[in-house]
Structure 1
Amino acid sequence: MPLTQSAPFSEEFRVQFSSTRRGARLARLLAVEQLRSWGLPFDAAAQVVAELASNAVQHGRTPGRDFRLVLRRPTPEVLRIEVTDTQGALLPATGRSLPACAESGRGLLLVEALADRWGVTSGPLPCKTVWAELAIPDDGEEAAAWIR
């Protein structure tokens, strides 16, 4: 009897968007539809995509250059969200305190609260990728908590 080897689990969704508010909104909408097609809860992930895409448009924009969204499931238990922009020299500021009256600047705090891990990868020049990983619950009770 021949031995067969199963392919490693992996699912990926990759799209480029214009670096506009409309592009950021479309990234969130398409991410939700992709997560639905994979049968995953999507509320927390949609918020993370919205924040990272918004940051790519607001802080990582180079005129005429797009940003890229990647949703990846390297294993059945992990969802990795990656947003790549073309401003590799501008790294996200974290851990800074904001005045109570500040109207913006809290997006990465939301990402930090929703994601199990997140970070920034530099390159290829002139790009950077801000990524977040969320654990995918394996039963209905945990899934309800993941949706928040």
Structure 2
Amino acid sequence: MPETMPQPSGALSASAALRVECSREGFARARSFTRDTLHVWSLDHRCDDTTLVITELAANAATHAAPGTAGTTGTPGAAEIRLGFLLDPTHLLVTVSDPDDHPPVYAPTGSALEEHGRGLCIVDALSEEWGWTPCPPAGKTVWARLSTCPPI
């Protein structure tokens, strides 16, 4: 798993970012923002996979970086995460930044029937590559790179 974010493969076409609270409303907002952004960028064909990747990365950030806030209903002062999208001519880079310094844990040996622990396996399956990078002075960004090419 690379520890540095890939650089855009060409000229940067567009970018978008959003801060969301670790709450049900925040995650719903993240999914809507993802779908709306991809629609504007004419990437509807990548919407389902990208929304699932963002959802998994955001859920991991809420579960591990902001324990106790996942699934809350907008608690004042709840932890926030930052979503980012960078578009170049051939790829979409999605990022989720959180305040925790610990690296993500990828455990591909778990059972498919387990309730937790499959998020990064899903991210790995849907993206060309993924990884994380520390964000000094504290926190990290977990990223995934998806192709913008339409399916064959």
C-alpha contact 1:88 1:125 (8 A) present in aligned 2: no
Q: What are the residue-to-residue correspondences of 1:1-148 with 2, within 5 Å? A: 8-40=11-43, 41=45, 42-61=47-66, 64=77, 65-73=79-87, 75-89=88-102, 91-99=103-111, 101-137=113-149, 143-145=150-152
- SS of match in other structure, 1:50: helix
Structure 1 gap segments, 5+ residues each: 1-7, 138-142
The answer as to whether partners of 1:25 and 1:50 remain within 8 angstroms in 2 is no
> Paired residues, what number?
131
Q: TM-score, normalised by structure 1?
A: 0.80
- The alignment partner of 2:114 has SS state of coil
CA-CA distance at 1:99 after TM superposition: 4.2
Structure-2 change in CA distance of 1:100 and 1:30 (3 Å): closer
Which 10-residue stretch deviates more, 80-89 or 16-25? 16-25
Tell which has more relative contact order, 1 or 2 (C-alpha 8 A, sep 6+): 2
The amino acid of 2:121's aligned partner reads: L
1:31-87 deviation digits (Å, cap 9, x = unpaired): 1111001100211111101111111111111773310000111x2111000000111
Mapped partners of 2:60, 2:15: distance in 1: 22
Identity %: 33
RMSD: 1.8
Which structure has the larger Rg? 1
